[in-house]
Amino acid sequence: GGHAGENETAYMMAVDPSLVWKERYKSDMATAIPAPNTWSAYPFPSSILLYKEGQGYPKFDLAKAKTYFAKVNDKVARLIEETIRKWDMAQL
């Protein structure tokens, strides 16, 4: 994952596949986010930022993207419900 990596790209593919243009992606466009205090550049040299070198490049698999989308939405919904439940217990 990372910015414009596998997770963000999959989520957008699930929302609207026409927004993801696979032909514009090239693996050498990706750069791993550097360890702290090693180097930095502004703007960052790549539009695709990976958490780890060689991991998280988009796979462009629509079926997996839809599964990921559903799981993320379910998790966020549970987090919201749990937060509201705790607020209610505290009478906030």
Q: What is the pLDDT of residues 34-66, one digit of tens each?
A: 999 999 999 999 999 999 999 999 999 999 999
- The ranges assigned to domains in the chain are 6-89
Residue 1: what pLDDT?
79
Which of 23, 9, 24 shows the shortest CA–CA distance to 62? 9
pTM of the model: 0.84
pLDDT confidence tier of residue 21, bands split at 50, 70 and 90: very high
Which of 5, 9, 12 shows the shortest CA–CA distance to 51? 5
Other beta carbons within 10 angstroms of residue 18's beta carbon come to 7
Task: Report which secondary-structure segment, H or E, holds 32.
Answer: strand 30-32
